[in-house]
Amino acid sequence: MREKLRRRERKLYNGTKFVICMSVGCGLLLIFMIGFMYFGAEKISFADLWNGLFHFDEGNFNHVVVRDMRLPRLLADIMVGVSLSVAGAVMQGNTKNPMADSGIMGISSGSIFAVVFMMIFLPDASRLERIGYSCLGAGISTMMIYLVAFIGKKGITPERMVLSGMAISTLFSSITSGIVLKEGLTSEMLKYTAGSSANAIWMDVSVSAPFFLAGFALALMISRSLTVMNLGDDVSKGLGANTAIIKLSSTLVVLVLSAIAVIIIGPVGYVGLMVPHIVRHFVGTDYRLVLPSCAVLGALFVVVVDLIARIMIAPLEFPVGILITMIGVPFFIFVSRRQRGDAFGG
């Protein structure tokens, strides 16, 4: 009885924390969104900002900057942040691997390969086709990673997932750089691999948005089952969950969301590792609370980092992907130090 009470208390406690986390996150996100629109290489007054958004005048250069450069980029950043962190959280729940991340695990290497392949062999492809191929690439690499980690006596362990991800991504990235070097596209490729949303246009946002929304909605739909799944396959089967369908749909979520991120910003890792970790620290392990918080904090994180990247060495830009990696690696090491010894099987 007391145990039950305590659990109830704890649930409430997490619920309160969830509300606090969401409201603070949303508030900060709003502030930084305005900051993102306001600061930049071009000085823009608040009046221009307001008018550019709501009373658009094509002849006014500042309005064009606001509407066609900063706004799509802001939306793209938000989409990337949400996608990466939700994909990371879902992946961590699905594989019960606290270190899972679409970039670290090498899923994005397949998308990058597909994108480069298209850049060279199908240069006229539409954005929609690009997203399709990028998803396909991500799908192939994911399948290979899972397959390799799955076959074997020990089955899927976090360590084997990371190592097989590393090997598969080395394979894909070496084929990619082989093609790039053969075709002499090094500098374009480099700009792409550094990771930046600077070239995001309305087209990207509008084409990816439906997929993004569908992926996000699917993630929310399976959030309850993910929480149950985290208790272990046997328990969740006992509770009547259809593990196969949930695993399949969560893999689909990861694929679509990480492919969108790759299309918009390039290969960016570690967001999907950091944000869910921080979120779980606040709101616990209930995925119905974790996923929305991840979405807000992920968007906040990418918007803030991209803002820093834009104004740090203005008028030039620091590649945001590199900045994120520089923040993410210490975090990864910190987390892996805190892991219990058996988590890696070592």
Partner 1 sequence: MLRGTVINIVLAGLLLIVFFFGCNVGQYRMSIGKVFETLFGGGDESSRLALFEYRLPRLCLAILVGLGMGMSGVVMQDLLHNDLASPGTLGVSAGSGLLVTVYVALLQTNNSSAILLPVLALLGGLGSAGLIFLLGTSRKKRLQPTRLIMTGVAMSSAYGAVGTFMMLLLDDSQLEFLQRWQAGELWGVRWDYIVVFAIWILLFGFMTYRGGRTLNVINVGYDIARGLGVNVGRQFIYLSLCAVALSSASVAFGGNFFFLGLIGPHIARRLVGTDARVLLPASGIVAGIIVLLADMLVQGWTFLANIPTGIVISVLSVPYFLYLLMKA
- Pull the structure tokens for residue 24: 């603070």
Window 75 to 94, contacts with partner 1 (CB under 8 A): none
- 98/101 Cα distance (integer angstroms): 9
Q: CB nearer to partner 1: give 151 or 201.
A: 151
- 228/208 Cα distance (integer angstroms): 30
Quick check: 168 binds partner 1 (CB under 8 A)?
yes
Quick check: 345 binds partner 1 (CB under 8 A)?
yes
Q: CB nearer to partner 1: give 207 or 275.
A: 275
DSSP-assigned letter for residue 69 = I
CA 78 → CA 110, 142, 269, distances in Å?
Answer: 23, 24, 16
What is the full DSSP assignment across 195-264? ---TT--HHHHHHHHHHHHHHHHHHHHTHHHHHHHTT-HHHHHHTT--HHHHHHHHHHHHHHHHHHHHHH
- Choose which of 30, 122, 190, 308 interacts with partner 1 (CB under 8 A): 190
Quick check: 302 binds partner 1 (CB under 8 A)?
no
Window 261 to 280, contacts with partner 1 (CB under 8 A): 269
Among the listed residues 154, 121, 139, 104, the one whose alpha carbon sits nearest the alpha carbon of residue 254: 139
Q: How far is the CB of 335 from partner 1 (least distance, A)?
A: 10
Q: Which stretch binds partner 1 (CB under 8 A): 7-15, 70-78, 123-131, 335-343?
A: 335-343
Q: Which stretch binds partner 1 (CB under 8 A): 31-39, 56-64, 156-164, 240-248?
A: 156-164
Using left for φ > 0, alpha for ψ between -120 and 50, and beta otherwise, residue 270 falls in: left
Quick check: 242 binds partner 1 (CB under 8 A)?
no
DSSP-assigned letter for residue 101 = -
Q: How far is the CB of 143 from partner 1 (least distance, A)?
A: 13
Contact 87, 272 (CB under 8 A): yes
Q: How far is the CB of 182 from partner 1 (least distance, A)?
A: 6
Size of the site for partner 1 (CB under 8 A): 48
Quick check: 171 binds partner 1 (CB under 8 A)?
yes
- 174/162 Cα distance (integer angstroms): 18
- 81/299 Cα distance (integer angstroms): 4
Quick check: 226 binds partner 1 (CB under 8 A)?
no
Residues that bind partner 1 (CB under 8 A): 99, 104, 148-149, 151-152, 154, 159-160, 162-164, 166-168, 170-171, 174-175, 177-178, 180-182, 184, 186-187, 190-191, 193-194, 269, 318-319, 321-322, 325-326, 329, 332-333, 336-337, 339, 341, 344-346
